[in-house]
Amino acid sequence: MPTPRARGAAPAAAASRPVTMADVAARVGVSKMTVSRALSRTGGEGRRSAQLLRERILQTCREMGYVIDQTARTFSTQRSGFIAAVIPSLNNSNFSETAHGITAAVEGAGLQLLLGYSDYRVENEERLLRELLARRPEGVILTGGSHTPAACAMLRASGIPVVETWDLPAQPLGHTVGFSNAEATASLVRHLHAQGYRRIAFIGGTSNRDTRGADRRRGYTEAIRELGLSEGRVISFGQPPISMAQGAQALAQLLQQWPDVDAAVCVSDLSAFGALAECQRRGWAVPQRIAIAGFGDFEVGRNCHPRITTVAVDCEAIGRAAGELLLRAIDAVRIGAPLPPETVLVPFHIEPREST
């Protein structure tokens, strides 16, 4: 049945309006439903004549340059076929590896990953989430456990499964895949203590914008206290994302304020590398004059000289686990039996290198 407005039958010309399923059906001389079924059926058995018809339909689609309208399909089936993930920053190998892991986990299930980044701000996360949820993702993966009340409300109202990653929130919104940033940093401090370091400082951000950073500082403080070391050697710089340049600045400030310091634990490998480079610029031997440790096992820390002792986390595994958990949760919702909240702990380990 041709629609009122004229639709070009030209094979692949940039039509003013895209070709619809009805156009294809009209051309083949069948109903829309037959085309719909030909496109969705995976290629079943059927009669010989049906097989041929199906082939003819697919061929016609190709000829006409027809691409199924996923927006209409989504609308009709109430299944968008994608999941949303919000990460703090694109330009951070930890999070981009996590995104890879998510992709790997969900692509087999025919779901697409839609990515957004918050620049480490919960307000941005809220805005992003509003836009993302408006497109009806089948599930959401978040980084960290800190969100605005409005964001939490939207997430709850959406009724879709949520996985929080990279952290162990006290009150999870749904499922969790992560580790204790505080515990990991405390392990690192204990490792340095075992190596003989006693005047250990911490270099990190000030704000609570980066809650993982704050957790790491807390882990440092707790370990220092527990080991009976002298406290208070904490240098704070500005807002995340923590940069190499900030690490360099912080190191300069650190050595001016506490010249006796013998080791610096940095909130990430990026700031650790900045601190390391600053030492090289000043001619201070690392680790002889001062030891430097980081967090996250970034490429730069594995490849610089000396290489940086760090806390290694399997970022891609976080993504894979989050993706798999979300998949199970989505299936569970679909059959009407929501999954009770689960927590997956991912392991971390200290990677001793030449910088300490």
Partner DNA sequence: CTGTTAGCGCTTTCAT
Partner DNA sequence: ATGAAAGCGCTAACAG
C-beta of 22 vs 152, nearer to DNA: 22
Q: Measure the CA–CA gap between 44 and 47, rounded to whole angstroms.
A: 10
Q: Does 32 bind DNA (CB under 7 A)?
A: yes
Residue selected from 15, 58, 68, 152 as contacting DNA according to rule CB under 7 A: 68
Q: Does 20 bind DNA (CB under 7 A)?
A: yes
C-beta of 219 vs 323, nearer to its own copies: 323
C-beta of 121 vs 199, nearer to its own copies: 121
Q: Which does 42 bind (CB under 5 to 8 A by kind): its own copies, DNA, none?
A: none
Residue selected from 16, 42, 49, 91 as contacting DNA according to rule CB under 7 A: 49
Q: Does 50 bind DNA (CB under 7 A)?
A: yes
| Shortest separation between residue 194's beta carbon and its own copies, angstroms | 27
The span of 70-78, 184-192, 259-267, 273-281 binding DNA (CB under 7 A) equals 70-78
Residue selected from 78, 91, 256, 288 as contacting DNA according to rule CB under 7 A: 78
C-beta of 97 vs 331, nearer to DNA: 331
Q: Does 16 bind DNA (CB under 7 A)?
A: no
C-beta of 9 vs 90, nearer to DNA: 9
C-beta of 224 vs 293, nearer to its own copies: 293
Residue selected from 76, 257, 280, 303 as contacting DNA according to rule CB under 7 A: 76
Q: Does 339 bind DNA (CB under 7 A)?
A: no
Q: Measure the CA–CA gap between 268 and 79, rounded to whole angstroms.
A: 39
Q: Does 56 bind DNA (CB under 7 A)?
A: no
Sign of the dihedral defined by the CA atoms of residues 211, 328, 314, 350, in that order: positive
Reference 94, options 200, 240, 193; nearest CA is 240
Which residues lie near its own copies (CB under 8 A)? 12-19, 62, 64-75, 80, 89-93, 96-97, 99, 112, 114-115, 130-131, 133-136, 150, 153-154, 156-159, 243-245, 248, 270, 273-274, 277, 280-281, 299-300, 302-305, 336, 338
Q: Does 34 bind DNA (CB under 7 A)?
A: yes
| Start-to-end CA span in the chain (Å) | 76
Give contact residues for DNA (rule: CB under 7 A).
Answer: 3-4, 17, 20-22, 30-34, 36-37, 39-40, 44-47, 49-50, 53-54, 68-69, 72-73, 75-78
